[in-house]
């Protein structure tokens, strides 16, 4: 079982729709969760972090964390073609305190 799992996609959504990206993790001791966006040929860019159960909103982005079920999700409201990228989930604060990344979900927003 991979430590951090994401569906590789591509996830295709029409412009203006809500994109929902999911991530599960195996280390129950994990405490910190991050979402990075990576455009093709570029480096990852942090868009959200969440530490507590529940929802955290920032503009069009909402991160949701459920530690009991060991999943974290990212919702993108009013998706735009410029949101088309790979979204990486990262988990930290477990036994080794390393960042563990998922392989990413490729999102395509169709104009």
Partner 1 sequence: KAGVTQTPRYLIKTRGQQVTLSCSPISGHRSVSWYQQTPGQGLQFLFEYFSETQRNKGNFPGRFSGRQFSNSRSEMNVSTLELGDSALYLCASSLGPSPGGKNIQYFGAGTRLSVL
30 near partner 1 (CB under 8 A): yes
Q: Which parts of the chain are beta strand (E)? A: 4-5, 11-14, 19-25, 32-38, 45-50, 54-58, 61-66, 71-76, 85-92, 100-101, 105-110
Selected from 12, 14, 39, 45, the binder of partner 1 by CB under 8 A is 45
Residue 60 and residue 83: Cα distance in Å, rounded? Answer: 11
Minimum distance, C-beta of residue 79 to partner 1, in the bound complex (Å): 23
22 near partner 1 (CB under 8 A): no
* Positions 70 through 109 that interact with partner 1 (CB under 8 A): 88, 90, 92-94, 96-104
Query: How many Cα neighbours within 13 Å face the side chain of 92?
Result: 11
20 near partner 1 (CB under 8 A): no
Q: Give residues in contact with partner 1 (CB under 8 A).
A: 30-32, 34, 36, 42-46, 49, 51, 88, 90, 92-94, 96-104
């Amino acid at each position: 079982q991979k430590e951090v799992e994401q569906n590789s996609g591509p996830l295709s959504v029409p412009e203006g729709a809500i994109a929902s990206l999911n991530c599960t993790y195996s280390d129950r001791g994990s405490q910190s969760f991050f979402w990075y966006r990576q455009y093709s040929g570029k480096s990852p860019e942090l868009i959200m972090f969440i530490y507590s159960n529940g929802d955290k909103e920032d503009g069009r982005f909402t991160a949701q964390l459920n530690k009991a079920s060991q999943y974290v999700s990212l919702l993108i409201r009013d998706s735009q073609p410029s949101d088309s990228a790979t979204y990486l989930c990262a988990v930290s604060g477990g036994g080794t305190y390393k960042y563990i990344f998922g392989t990413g979900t490729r999102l395509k927003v169709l104009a």
